[in-house]
Amino acid sequence: MGARRIILLLVSLFVALLVAPADAALWMEFEPVSGHPGTKVVGHTMGNGALRVGDGPYPAYLVPVATNDRTPIGEVVVDNQDNGTLRFTVPDVPRGKYEIRIYCEPCAPYSAGETELKMGEFRVLGPALLPVEPSQSDAVPIAVLVACCVLLGGMTLYRRPGASGAREGAERRGVA
């Protein structure tokens, strides 16, 4: 077991001991823990046999920390060893901190009567990043820019005969 998992397990255990029973009944570890809309995320319940209360699946929601608005993201599927897995793609929602919650009626007796349980946290980083591929139309502005630079550079280097600078021209006219 890697150091990161051990630290995450210890932090999760510490949090589970400090929070209310409704929040401490279940917890999931997500990979990654943040992402842009379109990011694929996988979550697993912590410990073995965490969902012995029923067969599932249990609907899952992404809920902004500041509000109670729910965005459905999938279902927690329970395997034959009573462990839960949630796979989802980050929906197109505003950036910010979110809770991942599930609806689990059989969990209520073990969660102070609560049927909607916080399973973890997730941070949405902002709008989806779209891959940008160069196209032939992108080459035209670049070619024009290069041509302008060459033209301006040539004009700077070329001087008319007898125009050796503003100061010398002014001296010849008797201004200086």
pLDDT class of 23 with cuts at 50, 70, 90: very low
Mean pLDDT of the chain: 76
Cα 166 from Cα 154, distance rounded (Å): 19
For the chain, the helix, strand and coil percentages under 3-state DSSP, each to the nearest 5: 30, 30, 40
pLDDT class of 31 with cuts at 50, 70, 90: very high
| DSSP at 129 | P
Cα 130 from Cα 7, distance rounded (Å): 34
Whether 168 contacts 161, CB under 8 Å: no
- Residue 111 has a pLDDT of 86
CA angle at 130 for the pair 128 and 133, rounded to the nearest 5°: 170
Whether 43 contacts 30, CB under 8 Å: yes
pTM above 0.75, yes or no: no
Cα 86 from Cα 91, distance rounded (Å): 14
pLDDT class of 55 with cuts at 50, 70, 90: confident
